[in-house]
Structure 1
């Protein structure tokens, strides 16, 4: 099999890259080790920056999003029993975020690739990029007991943190920066109306909480927990009771409880790999970086990676211009580190930590108080939350 770009991973990053390239006449093959049902069943992010929405429009996959998504122009920060709305739109000249689940984005992308007869091979085992430091890279994989080979010009590693792509880069050439947080998020998805029209971030002495949503009838809630928390020890009644304890009284009374559709624990960590290019291999999405979910940046960072990478590939094939590919790693990393900083700051601001002492707790209260009473501080949060521009 021959193609121009071999893409490893059929998550949003890989599918979006394939769709953008196809619309510019550039061929690709997407290889995914899991089944399509497994990929579609992942419950992930749901807060999209304007840059990502624009990119989905460019890819021709935003029709359902524009019909069904919710527009949010603010968020609430709650602490010490009170809450304050951060006016995202008012502080940023009208910018906002869009509420639309990653599962829905993935579904739209799969349907678009099918409609254009794009090649997406799922349940591809032993996927291995080879020869990426030569002019003729290729990717081997096994399917139905047979070994196959995809010859290509470039390989895009969009296969996540545990994928094979990053491991192809020699250790001596790759730096991985990591911060592991001693906490996780216990998430619950329910078919219940949201507690509020906009997201509520809660800093509480018992731990962080987040009230989020996917639609007017589907809610997503999170509780700070231990990284080794056993989900089976959290029946629905216990989750709802703990959530109510952490919410301000004026909010808790509006909570509509119901059975969990999904419940899981996600550990928090920050990871950045450098560089994002080795020969003709490019890393994008979770293969390149991980952020804590506190700042809603994971999926959005993946989108900005694909923006830079697709620009570079399109310029190469249409004009023979290699500047975009040469500069991909530097351009993407500049934005990645800014998003990492914001997510790190939000995580430290809103969570409690095992080694917190009285001084640390006092500083956190002072910073929260300053944030909600300073237009300058709220503007910094708002600018980062709605998404920094693609440079």
Structure 2
């Protein structure tokens, strides 16, 4: 009979599950505090480094990294000039998202750039990051020393004991599924809206662009000096194959009100459904959910990644308080403090989603809601107080 492989056991202070923006931010902040952690990621380093999502690190998050002394090391890209172009029926309205406060402002930093820089920073500081960790499972979460079991790429079974587990592995990860049924309450909302998202090698806009027209919503965002991310409202059940290149560019030119919009090779396209989801509480025993593992927000307003960074900051500070000062107050109130921000950003994102979609194609919302949405936009464009509130919410001020 073949001898069974020996299971290797290790120990650390924090086991971080997932190496996206949330997990890597947690790890980098803990490392800068001298607190040891191990990051487990099921994908390869190459896959994680190229995963494309959000593109703007909001002002509050930039200042967070700056407060930890990491902004210069982890943030790439150009400073955001604080201007959004909201185009209604082809007419541009430049709206500022600068709240007038002093200090660093938002940065145009694609997610893959942030992830690459966080990875390099964490490893350069001696961090422990393990890719291709398979069969990850969490155990004894309500005990004094949780354990995390996984297999290395060569099939070796390892057990990691720790003081805390940071569940940063997204909506479909294993962290939240490790919580027993009935502990978390899920608050879900389906917006009934689909987006076709397109990545193309085409010139970026002068300012991030959101467009409203009777043909539906569209958007154009920079993703680097020579590439752009586009969004087109579509039925949620649509298929990317129904959108050949010609149809994509024709729809963008009409909805963006730019008949001479420069086309380019499309390198990626997919359709997703706009939805919002909040799990309450965001902690169970010594497991703390961070980012998408706890909440999903409609992409309107760019709050998803920034909420993950906010969670990571609160969690890292709470662990630092516990380890350094033996003060668990911030750990006990982690969920409550996170959720206050989550619901504030959910409300803003929902407001902006409804406004920009209802104001355009009214086949779903009807003429009454279309007129209400147009009135909200008119208020934003003409009332300084409305513009100031919008800027504060876009900036990411603490609620």
TM range (shorter): over 0.9
**CA distance 1:2–1:67, change in 2 (3 Å):** closer
**Secondary structure of 2:47's aligned partner:** helix
Q: Is the 8 A contact 1:19 1:59 kept in 2?
A: no
Cα displacement (A) at 1:203: 1.6
Match of 2:6 in 1: none
2: CA distance, partners of 1:57 / 1:29: 24
Cα displacement (A) at 1:177: 0.3
**Secondary structure of 1:171's aligned partner:** coil
Match of 2:50 in 1: 41
Which sits farther off after the overlay, 364-373 or 102-111? 364-373
Q: Say yes or no: does 1:146 pair with 2:152.
A: no
Cα displacement (A) at 1:214: 2.0
Note the residue ranges of structure 1 that are not aligned, 5 or more in a row: none
1:309 to 306, 311, 315: 315
Per-residue CA deviation, residues 307-358 of structure 1 (Å, 9 max, x unaligned), is 1111100011111111110111111110110000001111100114763222
1:270 to 272, 276, 283: 276
Match of 1:27 in 2: 36
Q: Say yes or no: does 1:172 pair with 2:182.
A: yes
1: CA distance, partners of 2:251 / 2:284: 47
Cα displacement (A) at 1:23: 1.3
Using structure 1 for the length normalisation, give the TM-score: 0.94
Alignment of 1:276-287 (within 5 A): 276-287=282-293
1:206 to 200, 205, 215: 215
Match of 2:304 in 1: 298
Q: Is the 8 A contact 2:75 2:107 kept in 1?
A: no
Q: Is the 8 A contact 2:29 2:313 kept in 1?
A: no
1: CA distance, partners of 2:49 / 2:69: 20
RMSD: 1.8
Match of 1:236 in 2: 245
Cα displacement (A) at 1:66: 6.0
Q: Is the 8 A contact 1:188 1:260 kept in 2?
A: yes
Q: Say yes or no: does 1:72 pair with 2:81.
A: yes
Match of 1:126 in 2: 135
2: CA distance, partners of 1:57 / 1:214: 23
Per-residue CA deviation, residues 130-175 of structure 1 (Å, 9 max, x unaligned), is 1011111111112222321100001000000001111222222210
Cα displacement (A) at 1:191: 2.2
Q: Paired residues, what number?
A: 385
Q: Say yes or no: does 1:51 pair with 2:57.
A: no
**CA distance 1:54–1:242, change in 2 (3 Å):** same
Q: Is the 8 A contact 1:7 1:28 kept in 2?
A: yes
Q: Is the 8 A contact 2:76 2:114 kept in 1?
A: no
Q: Is the 8 A contact 1:20 1:58 kept in 2?
A: no
Cα displacement (A) at 1:51: 2.0
Using structure 2 for the length normalisation, give the TM-score: 0.92
2: CA distance, partners of 1:263 / 1:356: 27
1: CA distance, partners of 2:102 / 2:248: 36
Q: Say yes or no: does 1:337 pair with 2:343.
A: yes
Match of 1:191 in 2: 201
1: CA distance, partners of 2:208 / 2:227: 13
